[in-house]
Amino acid sequence: MQMLSFLDTFTAFPLAELEVGKHFYWEIGNLKLHGQVFITSWIVIAILLTASVLATRNIQRVPQGIQNVMEYALEFVRDIAKNQLGEKEYRPWLPFIGTLFLFIFVSNWSGALIPWRLIELPEGELAAPTSDINTTVALALLTSLAYFYAGFSKRGLGYFSKYVEPTPILLPIAILEDFTKPLSLSFRLFGNILADELVVAVLVLLVPLFVPIPVMLLGLFTSAIQALVFATLAGAYIHEAVEGHGGEEHEAH
């Protein structure tokens, strides 16, 4: 942190502070929680809940307004799940993949669109929940659990035959793959979102007006793509676990 202390001289622009690695700690028992992440995630959850309640409160045969938007969102996540899992298998996994996509998407965009810096915290700053590695690791581990559960419930103990299936020589690599999947999922999302926010913050430090706008738009685009990538990969991993063989075309990311 001391390395970037020269940035403190730029505090003339209070909206453009860089506070990586500082957190607003909540202490519950022996645990130290990153409070800013909880606050922003709760706001994101509240946005999603309000949108879905408003959309379903008064359902029309011909959708209008927010119902239209939410129907579009539902069709979008359904297409993601259907493309990855296939027509027959996708339905039970649609809520999981859809929740992942919507939560990550709204989180990423909230970091760019909601002016969090206007809210003062004693320490640290509010930002997109996905720019904290704990959030992304939690989502990636949930994905791991989901595909283990999918494979185990579908194929029973036969699921574990995939570790020795072509040849037992590849057993270490097959086990290693189970660790690299959540690692790459979480690092990809975390790195992209944090990089977006850092680039925007540095540019705002240098030129406060107008110049950062194209980069902000690019950030919106990449964060939407990252939400899509996370949901797609979760679907691909679950499909691979359910199907056993033939999941190779989704491999090697």
Please name which of 172, 150, 168 lies closest in space to residue 247, comparing C-alpha atoms: 150
Closer to other proteins by Cβ: residue 69 or 198: 198
Which residues are 27's β-sheet partners? 32
Q: 246 is written with which tokens?
A: 């033939």
Number of residues that bind other proteins (CB under 8 A): 22
- Residues 6+ away with beta carbon under 8 Å from 216: 112, 200
Residue listed under structure tokens 């581990």: 141
Task: Tell me whether residue 89 or residue 196 sits nearer to other proteins (CB atom).
Answer: 196
Cβ of residue 25: shortest distance to other proteins, in angstroms?
Answer: 15
Kindly tell me which of 55 and 140 has the beta carbon lying closer to other proteins.
Answer: 140
CA neighbor of 111 nearest in space, from 223, 227, 247: 223
Closest CA to 199 of 5, 21, 4, 16: 16
* Of 65-73, 117-125, 152-160, 226-234: span binding other proteins (CB under 8 A): 226-234
Structure tokens at 29: 């028992």
* Residues 4-23 contacting other proteins, CB under 8 A: 4, 20-21
Note whether 50 binds other proteins by CB under 8 A: no
Q: Which residues within the stretch 176-215 sit at the binding site for other proteins (CB under 8 A)?
A: 184, 187-188, 190-192, 194-195, 198
d(CA 156, CA 175): 18
Residues lying near other proteins in the complex (CB under 8 A) are found at: 1-4, 20-21, 184, 187-188, 190-192, 194-195, 198, 222, 225-226, 228-229, 232, 253
